Amino acid sequence: MLYFDHSATTPIHPDVQSLINELNQDIYGNPSSIHAAGRKAKHVVETARKQIATAINCTPKEIIFTGGGSEANNLVLWNMIYRNRKHVITSSIEHPAILAVLQQLEHLSITHTVVPVNNYGCVNPEDIDSAIKDDTGLITIMMANNEVGTVEPLQDIAKVAKKHDVLLHSDGVQVLGKLPIDVQKLGVDMMSFSAHKFYGPKGVGALYIKEGIAMKPLIIGGSQEKSLRAGTENVGGIAGLGCAAELVTKNLSDVGHTLTGLEIQFKKKFSEQNPNIIYNGFEDNHLPGLINLTISGISSDLLLIHLDNEDIAVSSGSACSAGTISPSPVLKAMGINDKQNLETIRISAGRDNTSLEVDQLVETMTRAIATIRRNAQ
């Protein structure tokens, strides 16, 4: 298979898989137990905590392990119930684990304002500044968008948050392993991560919480994770997250250079054979290796079927629910009309993709497009 859907999920790194297999067999104690087997498991968990903390430049005690990025986002947002200032500011291109939760919280008197983005999917910090109210307690803006890859001006947004003494959370799920993350320089108070986005296992994530920020648990019933996440820890999964975080932050600039090279290669060769292609999002300030493109007159679902039949995996810019194709809310927020929205696909390269695979992708896509156009006549 030619796999170009790394923004959806990544294959587990072989070293990570080997570690998980070894630990699941040999480290079976409960990390909360005081005997030797428990202490060994606890050591594994704390090693992973140090690894993810090093990867984003925070202290280990500022890391909480969760069941994924969505849970981490939920933990942040549901804590608004306990805060005095109950207004949240977010953007129109956030993940449903932000926007859908905020809709639910409206029933509990947690209000929110959704600021727009420009045609590139970028938030204007001045819009956030203008949306601040007396009771604003949280700003939550993703670091980079999952569909078009646009990197948001978090440092400028952090200045707005600091000026008004408002907490700043960022969904960083798409970024770790693609761009450097330094939570100190970014100025964020909280940031969410998910292991399966950076060659780790599914079902495990992490939340950075700046020291001194009070939080209450979303899952209750135990004292694990400083009483913020009840339940016996997924030792193997947590170890996999830590290992993956360490691996992807090594030689990060080389990986970024490689992904950018593959992206440039695709755009050059594909555009030569397929004129009038629209590339969405910022040309420069975006995640390396992520390409969101609109192909006029070509339904994205038809193209995906053709590519899947050729054993090539990419994704659509639209959301599919119960067999019904609907326009992507992210692209709609960027001002892309419904017709173009449904003619958009996302290609996201990863560490194992090669120049030869990019050539194969270009050739297969070009052939599929010609077939679709011919059949439509």
3 state SS for the chain: CEECECCCCCCCCHHHHHHHHHHHHHCCCCCCCCCHHHHHHHHHHHHHHHHHHHHHCCCHHHEEEECCHHHHHHHHHHHHHHCCCCEEEEECCCCHHHHHHHHHHHHHCCEEEEECECCCCCECHHHHHHHCCCCEEEEECCCECCCCCEECCHHHHHHHHHHCCCEEEEECCCCECCECCCHHHHCCCEEEEEHHHCCCCCCCEEEEECCCCCCCCCCCCCCHHHHCCCCCCCHHHHHHHHHHHHHHHCCHHHHHHHHHHHHHHHHHHHHHHCCCCEECCCCCCECCCEEEEECCCCCHHHHHHHHHHCCEECEECCEEECCEEECCHHHHHCCCCHHHHCCEEEEECCCCCCHHHHHHHHHHHHHHHHHHHHHHC
Cα 284 → chain centroid: 19
Answer whether residue 84 shows pLDDT above 80: yes
pLDDT tens digits for range 193-241? 999 999 999 999 999 999 999 999 999 999 999 999 999 999 999 999 9
Q: What CATH architecture does domain 251-376 belong to?
A: Alpha-Beta Complex (3.90)
pLDDT of 322 reads: 43
Annotated catalytic residue, options 58, 122, 243, 320: 320
pLDDT of residue 351: 94
Q: Can you give the pLDDT at residue 324?
A: 59
What is the DSSP pairing of strand 312-313 with strand 2-3?
A: parallel
Residue 284: pLDDT band by 50, 70, 90 thresholds?
confident
pLDDT at 6: 97
Q: Do residues 291 and 346 make contact, with C-beta atoms less than 8 angstroms apart?
A: yes
**Rounded-to-integer distance, Cα 165 and Cα 104, Å:** 25
The whole-number pLDDT of residue 271 equals 96
What does the mean pLDDT of the chain come to?
Answer: 96
Give how far Cα 214 sits from Cα of 67, 93, 189, 313, Å.
20, 28, 11, 42
pLDDT digits (tens, 9 = 90+) for 127-151: 999 999 999 999 999 999 999 999 9
Predicted pLDDT at 63: 98
320 is catalytic: yes
Which of these, 82, 77, 57, lies nearest to 66 by C-alpha position?
77
Can you give the pLDDT at residue 376? Answer: 85
The pTM score is 0.96
- pLDDT at position 323 is 54
Q: Where are the domains of the chain?
A: 14-249, 251-376
Q: Which CATH class is domain 14-249?
A: alpha beta
The pLDDT of residue 377 is above 90: no
65 beta partners: 206
| pLDDT tens sequence across 300-349 | 999 999 999 999 999 996 655 445 578 999 999 999 999 999 999 999 99
Distance (Å, whole) CA 362 – CA 177: 25
The whole-number average pLDDT for the span 99-118 is 98
